[in-house]
Every structure is written in C-alpha cells, then in structure tokens.
C-alpha cells in the first residue's frame, strides 16, 4: 500500500453519494469491491459492511486486526453554491500540498479511512488476517456502532481510522448527547408602515464542534441573537431566525427576518454596519471573513407575537455555547463543551438543536441540565437523546505500544499519545466488545464538517507508511 493507491480509492469515493442516512451507494461500492477480489463480505441489517481478507501464507498465527472507518460524511456547502451532494462528485483542487474542497465539505472525514482500508485489502503484500469494518451514520448518531451485534467481527484489536492529526495516537474520546428545544408561538399582523429586512451573519469558518470548539470560532447564530437582543430598543417585529444544520458543526451562517418601522430602517442598517465592524475586530484571527449585512426582503409569514419574540431572543442568547471545562489531568484537552448548532423557524414553532460533549459522564448530564434550565425559564420544551459513551484511555494497550514503536522507527521521534474531545465510535465498540484493544490515528485534516475541508498530502504519506508498517508487522 502507498499513498497513490489510497488517493486513487479516495478519488473514487468522492464520486459516490454518502450523506449520513443515505449510504446505500457507498455500501454497494464496498460490496462490489469485495466481490471483484473474492474477499469475504457481509452486511448487517443496520447497513454496516465487513470485508475480510484472510491471512497470507506464513501469517496465519498473527492476531486478526480490525480496521474501522465510517461510510458517511457531513454534507455542507457554502450558501449560494449550486451543488447537489446526491448527484455530483465533490469538487476539489490540489493547492500548496493540500487537497481542498473550497465550497463544500471534502469527505476526507472519513473517506480517507475507507480508502486506506481498501488499499490494504487490495495490497499483495503479506499480512495477517484483516477485518475491515465500515459503519453507517457515524456523523448523525453513530447508528452503525449502536446497531452492531455480537460476533459481527472476530478480531480483538481494532484500529479506528477517523482521527485528524498525523503524529498523534488517540486512546480516548468524549461521550456526547443532543438536546432538542422547541418553543410554540403565535403570530400577529405586520404593522402598518413596517418594512422587512434580512439581517445576515456569514463568512464564518465553522468547523467540527468537537475538534474546533476550543478555537474560538464564531457561531453565527449566537452573534445574530446577540445583535437582535441589543436592538430591542427598536420597536421591530421578528419574523424568523434560521441558521445551522448539523449537530456536529459550528454554525457558519445565519439570518433573521425582521420588520422595522419605515422611518427606522436606515438606523437599523447603520447599526448592522457598526456590528459588522465589531465582529471583524473581535474575530479577526479566528474568522477573518466574517460579515454582517442588512438588505430589503419579503416574507409570506406574519411576524411572531411580541412577547414570544422577546422570549425567543433572550433564551437563544442565554443558551450556553463553547468550552465549559478543561481537563485537569490532560493538559490542553477540552473536557466539556456544548454547541448551539441549529435554529429553524416553522409556522408556529421555533426549534433549537444543541450538542454536548464531555469525557466526564456527570458533566455531560450537568451541561444538558443547564440548557434545560435556561430553556425552562424561557418557556421552551426540551428533550435529550442520542447519548453515546466516551472511551476511557488504556495506556497499557498492546496496539498502542506497537504503533508507538513503529512511529519512532519510521520517523525518529515519539508520537503524541492523546485523548480527543470529538466523539469516536470506540466507546460504543468497547461496550459491545469489552475485550477490544483499540487505538485511533489518521492523516492531518482541517476544516472538517465545513466547506473548505482539506487533507494535507504530506501527512497522508506519513499516515500510510505508519499504518502499513503496523499492519504488516503486527504480532
């Protein structure tokens, strides 16, 4: 296996639709790959695919290795970019040593993990028995990991290929849960002489709500409601708030439709301009392209009743977002965080999606309860779901020691051994297969879960060499 073979398979994968919950085509691609090479293959009722390559001659006594990646990807694109993830291949370029999708997500999370598995399965080099596990819907709830049944794979050692920093070996991750808040409201007539404006916050970098939550990236929804709250001095009417999509992505773009007295429209526009300057100053380092704008708009919806609108704006402003606690045991590790991910306005209801992460079970419950309390004060109803467990580090892991020694041999220095704040499926695997010895590593990715996602090709070379060495020399 080499980087060229991994890239070849990844380029094929970029042409296959695989949004979370719609993995049928990538599943068939994996099944066809196995059939063409006469490899063992089975698919469970959940949609997880397992491809098995039996041990090479002389390698029959090597313990089975399970390599694992997830089939799905986060499908995000820039507003106004004409693209359909269901029918079009992902557009990417190679610039300055990076493979980049400028206006969409690239899907290297976790397409590059799939590609590495396929390149190994396709390799003629001698190796022990491989079981390559491809799970579904990791990005939206880890449905595949939840749906795994005992005995689906046999190996006792698993390498997860869903990490995003080359040179780091991950041995633990955070657990998480999602919260859904709803507010039922009434609408009232548009007042005479009022004009509708669209207030936009856009140009944010966004990113992964686990890996990037400590980078102080702008959350467009939080900044939008911040502006709306300061403007309550005006007698405006709120019509709708929209922003965000995926629970595991930091919101990059959001907008509100408001109705403003005609003689105050220009004052509101001037305030937006001032807020634009404020945002550009505050986020000059983390989000240098952030902007706020106001423009005339129309709407078929009537405004939200004044009292309901005030409750919505105040509650959204008060909902916590960002890092809540840092680990006292592992320097630099985010211990607990929360992400206000999406807000959508329906005819008579406003919905809010938040996701929480923590490596401490009690803190995960506490941050969900804090959100619930804020929403209770604002008159929102809340439900929690989508819980998944964390992965407790095992520093005595055999596969960790094998991988560490391999890295030192290849590159002449120690890798970092870390836990990650993002959620990995490893915690669920450990619940179902308690004897598993696990590790996670991968090449360097940046901007995952947001347009502009990119893969560093030099790191891919090192990742491939490392994985190849671990697999071919595992004992």
Ramachandran assignment for 130, one of left (phi > 0), alpha (psi -120 to 50 degrees), beta (any other): beta
Reduced 3-state DSSP string for the chain = CCHHHHHHHHHHHCCCCCECCCCHHHHHHHHHHHHHCCCEEEECCCCCEEEEECCCCCCCCCCCEEEEEECCECCCECCCCCCCCCCCCCCCEEECCEEECCCECCCHHHHHHHHHHHHHHCCCCCCCCEEEEEECCHHHHCHHHHHCCCCCCCCCEEEECCCCCCCEEEEEECEEEEEEEEEECCECCCCCCEEEEEEEEECCCCCECCCCHHHCCCCHHHHHHHHHHHHHHCCCEEEEEEECCCCCECCCCEEEEEEEEHHHHHHHHHHHHHHHHHHHHHCCCCCCCCEEEEEECCCCCCCECHHHHHHHHHHHHHCCCEEEEECCCCCCCEEEEEEEEEEEECCCEEEEEEEEEECCHHHHHHHHHHHHHHHHHHCCEEEEEEEECCECCCCCCHHHHHHHHHHHHHHCCCCEEEEECCCCCHHHHHHHCCCCEEEECCCCEECCCCCCCEEEHHHHHHHHHHHHHHHHCCC
Q: Is 270 an annotated catalytic residue?
A: no
| List 19, 103, 110, 138, catalytic entry | 138
- C-alpha to C-alpha distance for 392 and 404, rounded to whole angstroms: 19
First to last CA, the chain: 19
- C-alpha to C-alpha distance for 349 and 362, rounded to whole angstroms: 31
| List 19, 23, 72, 165, catalytic entry | 72
Q: Is 138 an annotated catalytic residue?
A: yes
Tokens linked to 180: 């859904």
- C-alpha to C-alpha distance for 299 and 258, rounded to whole angstroms: 10
Q: Which residues are catalytic?
A: 72, 138
């Amino acid at each position: 296996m080499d980087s060229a073979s991994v890239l070849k398979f990844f380029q094929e994968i970029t042409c296959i639709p695989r949004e979370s919950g719609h993995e049928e085509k990538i599943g068939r691609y994996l099944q066809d790959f196995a059939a063409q090479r006469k490899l063992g293959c089975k698919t469970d009722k959940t949609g997880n695919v397992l491809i098995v390559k039996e041990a090479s001659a002389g390698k029959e006594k090597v313990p089975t290795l399970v390599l694992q990646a997830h089939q799905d990807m986060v499908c995000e694109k820039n507003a106004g970019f004409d693209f359909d993830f269901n029918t079009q291949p992902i557009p990417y370029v190679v610039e300055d040593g990076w493979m980049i999708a400028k206006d969409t997500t690239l899907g290297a999370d976790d397409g590059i993990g799939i590609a590495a598995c396929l390149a190994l399965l396709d390799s003629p080099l001698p190796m022990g028995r491989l079981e390559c596990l491809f799970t579904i819907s990791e990005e939206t709830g880890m449905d595949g990991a939840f749906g795994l049944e005992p005995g689906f794979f046999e190996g006792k050692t698993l390498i997860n290929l869903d990490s995003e920093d080359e040179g780091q070996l991950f041995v633990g991750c955070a657990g998480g849960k999602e919260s859904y808040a709803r507010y039922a409201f009434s609408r009232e007539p548009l007042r005479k002489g009022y004009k509708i404006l669209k207030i936009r916050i856009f140009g944010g970098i966004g990113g992964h709500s686990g890996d990037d939550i400590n980078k102080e990236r702008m959350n467009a929804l939080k900044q939008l409601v911040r502006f709306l709250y300061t403007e309550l001095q005006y007698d405006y009417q709120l019509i709708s708030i929209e922003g965000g999509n995926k629970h595991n992505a930091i919101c990059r773009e959001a907008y509100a439709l408001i109705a403003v007295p005609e003689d105050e429209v220009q004052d509101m526009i001037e305030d937006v301009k001032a807020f634009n300057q404020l945002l550009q100053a505050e986020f000059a380092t983390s989000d240098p392209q952030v902007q706020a704008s106001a423009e005339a708009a129309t709407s078929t919806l009537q405004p939200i009743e004044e009292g309901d609108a005030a409750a919505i704006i105040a509650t959204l402003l008060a909902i916590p977002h960002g890092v809540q606690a840092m680990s006292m045991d592992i320097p630099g590790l985010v211990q607990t965080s929360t992400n206000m991910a999406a807000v959508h306005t329906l005819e008579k209801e406003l919905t809010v999606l938040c996701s929480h992460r923590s490596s401490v079970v009690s803190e995960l419950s506490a941050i969900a309860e804090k959100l619930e309390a804020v929403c209770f004060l604002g008159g929102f109803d809340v439900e929690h779901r989508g819980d998944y467990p964390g992965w407790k580090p095992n520093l005595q892991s055999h596969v960790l020691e094998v991988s560490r020694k391999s890295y030192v041999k290849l590159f002449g220095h120690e890798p970092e051994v870390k836990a990650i704040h993002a959620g990995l499926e490893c915690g669920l695997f450990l619940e179902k297969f308690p004897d598993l010895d696990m590790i996670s590593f991968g090449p360097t990715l940046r901007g995952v879960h947001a347009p502009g996602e990119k893969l560093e090709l030099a790191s891919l070379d090192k990742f491939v060499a490392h994985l190849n060495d671990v697999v071919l020399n595992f004992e």
